[in-house]
Amino acid sequence: MAERQRSPRGAARRELILDVALKSFAENGFHGSSIADIAALCGLSQPGLLHHFPTKAALLAAVLDYRDRIDAQRLEWSDPPRGLDALHRLARLVDHNTHVPGLVQLFTVVTGESVTDDHPAHPWATARYRTLEADLSQALSAGIADGTIRSGVDTHAIARQVVAMMDGLQLQWLLDPESVDMSGLFRSYIDSLISSIAARGQ
């Protein structure tokens, strides 16, 4: 059976709930956020919110999916990058993230909480890291194949290091944004990394 199409009003209300929930999860974490409080901020009753998202875990999953879609659009993953272009795209994403601290905070808070196996975001966080690292490794391997990245580079190790650098800088930036130039530091790291792995003449 085809999925029932949402009315414009229902879609707008759903977007409002996601926006309010995103801010709540970012500021308070999953366990510190209340469905009742989120509903009240949206001008809804708790049953009214649960009509759109039947559980708190379902609401969190929808918020995380929303964040991932934003990142995918920013990275232009519909056109998979090859080689060094993947690293340049990540640098542009980090620069963009300096303008959306709420999304960065959401990711950092929820990811930190999700290290416990029973957290509803645990599968999402685990899958996200595996997918991001696999996609980046594949893009770097494509660079080896087309000769823009030197042979012998451990693409899996580099992918994991890049993701760790992104997340570590995000945490430091959230804690002390006045002192941490997240975008500049990451761009400098990427430039140095490119210099070390690029094939001669690139």
pLDDT tens, position by position, 101-120: 887 888 888 888 889 888 88
Whether residue 78 is predicted with pLDDT greater than 80 in this model: the reply is no
For residue 149, report the phi and psi dihedrals to the nearest 5 degrees: -120, 135
Whether residue 2 is predicted with pLDDT greater than 50 in this model: the reply is no
- 8 Å CB contact between 67 and 107: yes
pLDDT tens, position by position, 140-199: 999 999 999 999 999 999 999 999 999 999 999 999 999 999 999 999 999 999 999 999
Q: Give dist(CA 181, CA 91) in Å, integer.
A: 13
User: Mean pLDDT, to the nearest integer, of 62-82?
Assistant: 74
> Which of 196, 160, 176 lies closest to 84 in space, CA to CA?
196
- 8 Å CB contact between 131 and 104: no
pLDDT at residue 25, rounded to an integer: 86
- Given this structure, which CATH class describes domain 8-197? mainly alpha
User: Mean pLDDT, to the nearest integer, of 128-150?
Assistant: 94
Whether residue 96 is predicted with pLDDT greater than 90 in this model: the reply is no
pTM metric for this prediction: 0.78
Give the pair of three-digit tokens for residue 112.
């930190």
